[in-house]
Structure 1
Amino acid sequence: MTQTPMHHWMADQGMAPLTHQAALWTAWSEGQSGLLHAPTGHGKSLAALGGLLNSTITGGRLRMLWITPMRALAADLQQAFEAPVAAIKPGWSVECRTGDTGQSQRSRQRRKPPEILITTPESASLLLTYRDMLTHLAGVDTVVVDEWHELLGNKRGVQTQLLLAALRVANPSLRVWGLSATIGNLEEARDVLLGPGRDGALLAATSQKPLVIESLLPDTQDRLTWAGHLGLRLLPRIVEQITAARSTLLFTNTRSQAERWFEALACTEALDGRIALHHGSLDRSLRDAAEQGLKTGSLRCVVSTSSLDLGVDFSPVDQVIQIGSPRTLARLIQRAGRAGHQPGASSRILCVPTHTLELAEFAAARRLWASGRVEARQPPNEPIDVLLQHVVTRCLGQPQRPDALLAELRQTHAYRHLSDARWDWVLDFLGRGGEVLRAYPEYHRVRADAHGHLRVSNATVARRHRMMVGTIAADATMRLRWLKGGSLGHVEEAFISRLKPGDQFLFSGRALELVRVRELTAYVRRARRRRVAVPRWAGGRLPLSEALSTAFIDWLAKPDAAPEYAALAPLLRLQQQVSSLPSHESLLVETTRSREGWHLALFPCAGQAVHEGLGACLAWLVTRQQARSITVASNDYGLELLSSKPWPDDSAWLAQLLDFGSVEDLLTEALNATELSKRQFRDVAQTAGLVFTGYPGRGKSTRQVQMSTGLLFDVFARYDPDNPLLMQASLESRRQALDWGRFQQTLTRLRRQPIRWHATESLSPFAFPLYAEAQRQQLSSESLAERLQRAAELIERRASHAA
């Protein structure tokens, strides 16, 4: 094997290249592009960097553009690259350009960029708007897209596809390499990255990283639990685990959950204050301190959300704890990879149930991992809002010929089938505002010059567009600051709007008191008593993947000798005693009467989003048949309709109810689909550039943005109902609110399946968590735990008497 400069450098560090690293270097030297798939900690970054460092390419200009989905990862990569670059390419520089980069450094980078620039999809796209940067970008030899699995399935991935197509126009021989882990559709991921008609290499690590999935088993074998019931009860056991390790990453699924766990752990004497909190709403200084504490080993534990999921290298971390079900195997693997973050090391993740049924999910995830099945990420197809934004971006950088730009767009997977008619609509919408906005000059963003080239119409459009580049819609958040100065981060505006001065809440592990709200900033001080609320952030709910829900049902049907089974056995026996277990062959239905009313529970095990939509549809249909009051509750396993009147004891009645006509028409009535679309249109309109959220320091409030987008939605709906942006908002709202594709598949399956109908004397272990969800919405002088514990004891007594 030819010894390259990277071979020698790695030997000096006491390392030897792995097979997939050497394979990528060879492919790079042959001018190939492709996708490298390897577990976390298997040297993907050095593999992609090494191709360029091994070459004879000289410096003095921008040579490599490295795209990463996270700012924190960009800074970490810069630090990791400095040593090999300095040793192999002396004089070359490595720099970051993200939203955290100062204005002076950005200006210098435009005049004299580094040889290797690490950036994000948003910042990279912004470079295309500057004429002077286009000259530098033409010299880029390699683009590396890191963590491609995180970008593939969303609009940021589409934005990356468009960026790559533009760079290929400047350099047709451009090398593009994607780095990925934990993804099921590898070939499709490669093809989407490279674009239609382009062949590329698909490289993979030769060995799978050892992964140990363990569950923290409860001391007591509860047969009736509910979401959140077990979590903090296991706190002493978790503290034991943390103190037994050098350092621990403790993951939660939501920021609210992270706040609760951090507060509980921070009060523990055994940790001696060596604990930190990390989530996306915290101020950058707090996040940086947590990351640095992990790297140096000064912290025993960091409580985090998905903000630390991706490839930041925390080599000292030797333990990962997951609170609650991760909902997907891919997320479980990704988080487990934060420990043992080096080749040959095994990763161990300890899963902590928040209710007993999650133990079955952990066991199912272990079996799913052994089978080698990981969830696929499906790429978006032709999002019109991203297209509108990108066309303005390209025209702002340099004038564009419409036919050449269309040919460029069709070189992406997302827009490979872009029709001439849709392209004509795009040009008309950007040029004249389409059918209904022609009278408003601010929507005339692109014009054709005397030579037929497309240009941005004026300086105001250019300035505003550069501030709005990106596909992550502005969060409805407010800055949180101390009354006497200093930033804490961001909190949802909707949460703050429900508080009045003097109210208290928990944030960054501190009990805070709201003092006042002024100009989109909430000012706080330390509270004298404990908190009364925890902020809730949008997007906190994670859906149970189809692969894991299928494995969950498979495991229930044929449980193995996993440690989880001993803890689950009492629950499963009681479930089979009063009813039966969910299965793939039939739909499990239970009816029960309680003092609250008549319960009808269905268990499709298709995820909470699907169950919420299905429950709303069924409730709407039932109330149209007969006047009655119905409360709908749902979780990942099933849904419950609680009625003020008895349910028909007839499976044929339910089968007929499920066989309703047009799903779209029913959803419009049952879920007020128009209102859902109107909410989603806010994000679509921002990405498409139809609304301006304000200049720095003078931003518009969420209410102002909603009023602007709401007015546009109403105008389009009335005068231009076939507007593609409306259709996109409708589709996206269904995908997000209902997991639309899965909703349709589940409904088709339920209509074919026979129904197993059980009229039970008391709520079953599977139905009880649904009852608990309904109870959360009720006001009472008793705590939720007290009410549910009393109900559980009553059910247990009935079950014992029946036995």
Structure 2
Amino acid sequence: MTGLHPVVEHHIVNTLGWPSLRPLQSAAVEPLAGGSDALLLAPTAAGKTEAAVFPLLSRMAASNWHGTSLVYVCPIKALLNNLLPRLEGYAAWLGRRVALWHGDVPTGTRRKILRERPDILLTTPESLESMLVSVNVDHREFFAGLRAIVVDEVHAFAGDDRGWHLLAVLERLTRVTGRPLQRVGLSATVGNPGELLRWLQGSGAGTRPAQVVAPDLNGNAPSVTPLGPSVRDAPQAPPPGDIRLDYVGTVSNAATVISSLHRSEKRLVFCDSKQLVEELGHALRARGVTTFLSHASLSADERRRSEQAFAEARDCVIVSTSTLELGIDVGDLDRVIQLNAPMTVASFLQRLGRTGRRPGTLRNCLFLALNEEALLHAAGLLLLWGRHWVEPVTPPPEPRHIAAQQVLALCLQEHRVGDRLWQEWWNGLGPFGATAAPIVSHLIDAGYLDRDGGMLFIGPEAERRFGHRHFMNLTAVFTAAPEFTVLAGRTEIGRTDPALLTEEIEGPRLLLLGGRTWRVTYIDWRRRRCFVEPSDGHGRARWNGVGIGGLSFAMVRAMRSVLLGADPPVQLTRRATERLAVLREEAVESVHPGGTVITRSPGGDVRWWTWAGFRANATLAATLAGVADPGQRVEDAFIRLREELTPDMWKAATGDAPERLCLPDVDEKALNGLKFSVALPHRLATATLAARLADLNGAASVLREPARFSML
């Protein structure tokens, strides 16, 4: 354990009883103790937290860091709660303290933290932002001793706007402290680890030492890769495991399979929606299975009770959305079951990593497809997994709305900012530099900012739009759909979509929440609360999501390969094999190994089977507006074309198309899901969303392929 502080080494051996560190932990010591930025890349349960914390605690002791010197950031509060006792134990070895700060932490506890600053602060990016803008926090004093940042599950941030928000907040913290901050990211397997680390470094990329610490392609001892221009990223090999794919057709059939298989074992079931979690949970309980539920619309107490009971129980099932995909400890699992399929291979690897932790056991996952589309999706995903392919994590392009939010947050933080000095707060980080100048001009013109004597400060429009509850709405960059709180007496059960409370029904209004049926007794419309009591029967669950969906180019192309005869390297049940055979027979006219296919149905419906994914198809539909059916809903596998299409029309429309690709058209309603879009000029808000809807590379690739006309 050379390189760790002697006290840390002593407790690893004598308190934890570890004869040695795990390979990842050992390999991380030298770069982290030496102050390098780093990305620690490994599957779930590889000891990434200890790999980061042990060297940083050693550095804290050796360099005599004082005050809050380490901030540990997680994407969800439940993960922070789960980590707190473990990190408290490690810090106590050196007489150091850990504190938790997020939205559920009581005001009294926060006041104590401000009086008695901990050495390590566990928090979320949104809570960091709130500390910077709060009038109750002297952020310069509180963060004066800050030296290092650990970002857990960094891949979960980097793929959406929370990542841009996190980077911008870290740059402001760097400015507050007046020193570079060591940045350490912890991640599950990704396809582009070097790019992810460079992204995490922000303005320090290329100027600070940085290393990727990751298992090699065979899953053996980690390699330590210094970053440089010649380094090429390579996807990591998936771990071996017992993977099976079945076709069950309905939630009821899925519940029957789950209730009859693997009895006496602890099973974690992932679903792709909260509604599906509720329906399966209800069906399992009806079959006498001890069942717990976890999703974001259940109350924190309800989720905590479920997760604790599940961790301590045997012969039970917990049904969850992706909330349990991250590193929350729910005990030693025997099985992971997936209804339908996750959106990405990376997500599947994260879920698969929850099993196989005991010596002599394999990682395992049983896929249960509820319909043919899900079966094909799961087969395509597993085909990619078998090819050792993992998605690159790509930050959303052109985060102009986040730049607007950050300028407003900075003015709250500093009260007044020079109208020529605001850019310096982000240390040259691209989206928040000179390119944001037109956004700042618009904020001034629209009244979000006022300007006086060369200084910028919060304007009346920002007060009106975001000033509620001390600008709390300004600290989070994601938009949550409106929901009603559901209460049984004084106990909060969770939240539900208001549409379930307004639609016309006959008889009692029954809700499904927490896997149980509730009868609505009273609705408080003004306070958005709904009171219920337990009931028999089968209630309804519903939630409306926000954001843009659809599968990627790589995923849909893998599904096409399955239809052309490729089998994923997993065990397929007889039902899955037979259903795939039917799908292949039905798709004989829509797939061809030599290129894309254009078909015309007897009713005149003309479809171009691109198998290119949602974003590429949106790009193609906009580019070929002259021959594409106007106003169509974008699909993953095909684009509708005009009924009068002829081969000559097609040739004329596509001849120069690769050189004139267009960004997709934007539905005005979709702008509502882009938080802070109201603070942008309309044209910039539309351009931002259009850039995020586009897949120019995928569209160009499809246009280079020959198109066959069938039944024309």
For this structure pair, what is the TM-score category when the shorter chain's length is used for normalisation?
A: 0.7 to 0.9
* Distance change >3 Å, CA 22–CA 728, structure 1 → 2: farther
Structure 1 residues 667-690: Cα deviation after superposition (integer angstroms, max 9, x where no partner):
65xxxx452355346x2247x5xx
Aligned partner of 1:260 in structure 2 is 279
Aligned partner of 2:232 in structure 1 is none
* Distance change >3 Å, CA 491–CA 756, structure 1 → 2: same
Question: Is 1:489 aligned to residue 469 of structure 2?
Answer: no
Q: Any conservation in 1 of the 2:546–2:673 contact (CA below 8 Å)?
A: no
Q: Letter of the aligned partner of 1:508 in structure 2?
A: G
Structure 1 residues 625-670: Cα deviation after superposition (integer angstroms, max 9, x where no partner):
xxxxx9x6775434668x9xxx5695555566777989999965xx
Aligned partner of 2:163 in structure 1 is 157
Whole-Å Cα distance in 2 between the matches of residues 297 and 280 of structure 1? Answer: 22
Structure 1 residues 529-565: Cα deviation after superposition (integer angstroms, max 9, x where no partner):
6346431321488532332223333344452475439
| Offset, 1:402 | 4.9
| Offset, 1:505 | 3.4
Q: Any conservation in 1 of the 2:308–2:330 contact (CA below 8 Å)?
A: no
Question: Is 1:637 aligned to residue 620 of structure 2?
Answer: no
* TM-score, with structure 1 as normaliser: 0.75
Q: Letter of the aligned partner of 1:309 in structure 2?
A: E
Q: For 2:298, which of 260, 279, 282 is the aligned residue?
A: 282
Whole-Å Cα distance in 1 between the matches of residues 252 and 615 of structure 2? Answer: 26
Q: For 1:518, which of 525, 546, 569 is the aligned residue?
A: 525
Q: Which protein is bigger by CA-based radius of gyration? A: 1
Aligned partner of 1:205 in structure 2 is 215
Q: Letter of the aligned partner of 1:535 in structure 2?
A: R
Aligned partner of 1:190 in structure 2 is 197
Aligned partner of 1:705 in structure 2 is none
SS in structure 1 opposite 2:138?
helix
Structure 1 residues 679-727: Cα deviation after superposition (integer angstroms, max 9, x where no partner):
346x2247x5xxxxxxxxxxxxxxxxxxxxxxxxxxxxxxxxxxx5423
Whole-Å Cα distance in 2 between the matches of residues 503 and 615 of structure 1? Answer: 43
Question: Is 1:8 aligned to residue 27 of structure 2?
Answer: no
Question: Is 1:684 aligned to residue 676 of structure 2?
Answer: yes
- Pairwise mapping of residues 106-185 of structure 1 onto structure 2 (< 5 A)? 106-130=110-134, 132-169=138-175, 170-185=177-192
Aligned partner of 2:323 in structure 1 is 307
* Distance change >3 Å, CA 2–CA 476, structure 1 → 2: closer
Structure 1 residues 130-179: Cα deviation after superposition (integer angstroms, max 9, x where no partner):
46122121201211111110111222111111122122221424211111
Question: Is 1:755 aligned to residue 707 of structure 2?
Answer: yes
Q: Any conservation in 1 of the 2:247–2:370 contact (CA below 8 Å)?
A: no
Q: Any conservation in 2 of the 1:249–1:304 contact (CA below 8 Å)?
A: yes
Percentage of pairs with the same residue: 23
SS in structure 2 opposite 1:512?
strand
| Offset, 1:76 | 0.7
Structure 1 residues 373-409: Cα deviation after superposition (integer angstroms, max 9, x where no partner):
2101212345233223323333333354455541332
Q: Please list every run of 5 or more consecutive structure 2 residues that lacks an aligned counterpart in the other structure.
A: 220-237
SS in structure 2 opposite 1:236?
helix
Q: Any conservation in 2 of the 1:255–1:537 contact (CA below 8 Å)?
A: no
Q: For 1:582, which of 563, 579, 591 is the aligned residue?
A: 591
* Distance change >3 Å, CA 547–CA 427, structure 1 → 2: closer
Aligned partner of 2:693 in structure 1 is 740
| Offset, 1:520 | 4.2
* Distance change >3 Å, CA 287–CA 574, structure 1 → 2: closer
* Distance change >3 Å, CA 167–CA 665, structure 1 → 2: closer
Q: Please list every run of 5 or more consecutive structure 1 residues that lacks an aligned counterpart in the other structure.
A: 220-228, 625-629, 689-723, 761-803
Q: For 2:550, which of 537, 543, 546 is the aligned residue?
A: 543
Q: Letter of the aligned partner of 2:537 in structure 1?
A: R
Structure 1 residues 185-230: Cα deviation after superposition (integer angstroms, max 9, x where no partner):
21111111112433312211356373425224348xxxxxxxxx34
* Distance change >3 Å, CA 69–CA 562, structure 1 → 2: closer
SS in structure 1 opposite 2:310?
helix
Whole-Å Cα distance in 2 between the matches of residues 311 and 384 of structure 1? Answer: 31
* Distance change >3 Å, CA 531–CA 658, structure 1 → 2: farther
The alignment's C-alpha RMSD in Å is: 3.7
- Pairwise mapping of residues 261-660 of structure 1 onto structure 2 (< 5 A)? 261-269=280-288, 271=289, 274-297=290-313, 300-341=316-357, 346-356=362-372, 358-398=374-414, 399-415=416-432, 418-419=434-435, 422-423=436-437, 425-430=438-443, 433-434=444-445, 437-438=446-447, 443-444=448-449, 447=451, 454=456, 456=458, 466-482=471-487, 484-499=489-504, 502-514=508-520, 515-526=522-533, 530-531=537-538, 533-539=540-546, 543-560=550-567, 562-564=570-572, 567-568=576-577, 571-572=580-581, 575-576=584-585, 579-580=588-589, 582-583=591-592, 585-593=594-602, 597-608=603-614, 636-638=636-638, 651-652=647-648
* Distance change >3 Å, CA 341–CA 387, structure 1 → 2: farther
Aligned length, in residue pairs: 672
SS in structure 1 opposite 2:530?
strand
Q: Any conservation in 2 of the 1:248–1:317 contact (CA below 8 Å)?
A: yes
Q: Letter of the aligned partner of 1:726 in structure 2?
A: H
Q: Any conservation in 2 of the 1:608–1:638 contact (CA below 8 Å)?
A: no
Whole-Å Cα distance in 2 between the matches of residues 47 and 350 of structure 1? Answer: 31
* Distance change >3 Å, CA 261–CA 734, structure 1 → 2: farther
Q: Any conservation in 2 of the 1:178–1:190 contact (CA below 8 Å)?
A: yes
Q: Letter of the aligned partner of 2:429 in structure 1?
A: T
* Distance change >3 Å, CA 540–CA 524, structure 1 → 2: farther
Q: Letter of the aligned partner of 1:177 in structure 2?
A: V
Q: Which moved more, 1:49-58 or 1:331-340?
A: 49-58
